[in-house]
Amino acid sequence: AQSVAQPEDQVNVAEGNPLTVKCTYSVSGNPYLFWYVQYPNRGLQFLLKYITGDNLVKGSYGFEAEFNKSQTSFHLKKPSALVSDSALYFCAVRVESYNTDKLIFGTGTRLQVFP
């Protein structure tokens, strides 16, 4: 089955420290991978995506993600966390077939950045 997993329900980090939010995936074929962020009582916002090319993808708000095919991972990273980065983060993978084209989302990881 095609799926995406976020093993951590919550990640805590001090402001100014680097942060990592983990994501692993299971898909057939080449993966299309995405990260979205959700602020309280709001919809999700697109951060970045990996389709092909460089394994390190840069996105919005200083975030980047590293695609690792051998480990089937797509971890979200930021060199220096801000308190305003505190939010819920979702990893997603594209599932495509002859009659299907949709995203499957992980369960989300809550990022808490402490001043």
Partner 1 sequence: DGGITQSPKYLFRKEGQNVTLSCEQNLNHDAMYWYRQDPGQGLRLIYYSQIVNDFQKGDIAEGYSVSREKKESFPLTVTSAQKNPTAFYLCASSPRGPGANVLTFGAGSRLTVL
Binding site for partner 1 (CB under 8 A): 6, 9, 32, 34, 36, 41-46, 49, 90, 94, 99-108
Taking the CA atoms of 9, 23, 48 and 76 in sequence, report the sign of the dihedral they define. positive
Residue that is written with structure tokens 């394994």 in the block: 55
**Cβ of residue 111: shortest distance to partner 1, in angstroms?**
15
Minimum distance between the CB of residue 23 and partner 1, rounded to whole angstroms? 12
Minimum Å distance from CB 22 to partner 1?
Answer: 14
Which residue number, 14 or 61, has a Cβ lying nearer to partner 1? 61
Question: 10 or 17: whose CB is closer to partner 1?
Answer: 10
> 82 or 104: whose CB is closer to partner 1?
104
Instruction: Output the CA torsion sign for 61, 7, 30, 18.
Output: positive
As a whole number of angstroms, the distance between CA 64 and CA 62 comes to 7
Shorter beta-carbon distance to partner 1: residue 44 or 113: 44
Q: What secondary structure letter does DSSP report for 62?
A: G
Taking the complex as a whole, the smallest distance from the CB of residue 1 to partner 1 amounts, in Å, to: 11
Structure tokens at 22: 């983990």
Please name which of 37, 8, 10 lies closest in space to residue 111, comparing C-alpha atoms.
10
